[in-house]
Amino acid sequence: MLKIVGFLVLFGSVIGGFVAASGKMLALWQPAEIVVIAGSAVGAFMVANPKSVQQQVLEHLKFAFIKKYDFDRDFYMDLLRMIFQLLEISRREGGNALEEHIETPENSAVFVAYPRISSHRRLLHYVTDNFRLTSLGNISSHDLESLMEQEVHTFGNDIKRSSKALQQTADACPGFGIVAAVLGIIITMQSIDGPVELIGVKVAAALTGTFFGIFLCYGILGPLASAIDHTAKNEVQAFECVKETLVASLSGRPPLMAVDAGRRVLWDEIRPSFFEMETWLKGER
């Protein structure tokens, strides 16, 4: 919702300032310039990025306007509870009892209770695979941390490809605006012997192309790329939280202290206090 409000403020400020300075709105309506710039940006984006990255960009853009963002405070509350439950099962009942949950999470009462986490395929596999390693009992906390850190690093680079792709497209838009402006000047030169009023209109249309290119870069695509980058970082936080919790548990900390280690890596706006976390987890015992 804030993103929509932000765009309304953005467009209102630019257009309102233009109109306040006696600008005519009709002068900004240049379909040919828009086709050149927007079409070039879309085409370059498709050429530069594989289909998976294009789909990733569209998926993350939904968070800006349509879809509720998955990785909010409630999501991390559920993640901490779920990890705590699995650690408690391992502590009380041993590795065999835990194996029943991590081998078939779709049939596990623990995982089924948290559908938002279970629906995130990569995070689910990250949890089950690394719990499986800890249950084997022949891996040190240092080795586990190294393996998990490598996977977090790879996932982070993967998910951030979408924001980088959109930012690269945004950076190219001023250039496409210049292309549109140059084409407009060429058209103007073709009419150089025409009426002065006509030449002025064509020059204004060419300059509008430069405006659209710069505005598309810094006003629309650039901010959207930054928004995607923020959502990607929040998603990576889930993996960091799991990593710190399992490493702390393997180092010998009790479940509550291990989960607290995972809690500490979360951003302030989604991180519960220790007392809040303790209250939630006491209800799970």
Q: Which residues contact 262 (CB under 8 A, 6 or more apart)?
A: 80, 83, 240, 241, 242, 243, 244, 245, 248
What is the pLDDT at residue 162? 92
Residue with tokens 């400020």: 13
Torsion of CA 162, 165, 166, 168, to 10 degrees: 160
Q: Is the Cα torsion angle 16, 17, 22, 23 positive or negative in sign?
A: negative
Model pTM score: 0.82
Q: Which residues of the chain, if any, have pLDDT below 70?
A: 1, 64, 66-69, 95, 194, 196-197, 283-285
Q: Where are the domains of the chain?
A: 31-285
* Nearest residue to 258 (alpha-carbon basis) of 74, 136, 125, 91: 91
What is the pLDDT at residue 279? 85
Tell which phi-psi region holds residue 67, choosing left (phi > 0), alpha (psi between -120 and 50) or beta.
beta
Tokens linked to 205: 């249309």
C-alpha triplet 56, 60, 62: angle, nearest 5°: 125
b/e code 260-285 from CB counts within 10 Å (16+ = b): bbbbeebeeebbbeeeebeebbeeee
What is the pLDDT at residue 198? 73
What is the pLDDT at residue 194? 67
Element (H, E) at 152: helix 141-159
Distance, in Å, from the CA atom of 88 to the CA atom of 256, rounded to the nearest integer, reads: 9
What is the pLDDT at residue 25? 83
Q: Are 187 and 207 in contact (CB under 8 A)?
A: no
What is the pLDDT at residue 199? 76
What is the pLDDT at residue 285? 46
First to last CA, the chain: 37
Per-residue pLDDT reduced to its tens digit, 238-276: 999 999 999 999 888 999 999 999 999 998 888 888 888
Residue with tokens 């530069």: 48
Largest CA distance in the chain: 91
In order, the DSSP letters of 220-241 are IIHHHHHHHHHHHHHHHHHHHH
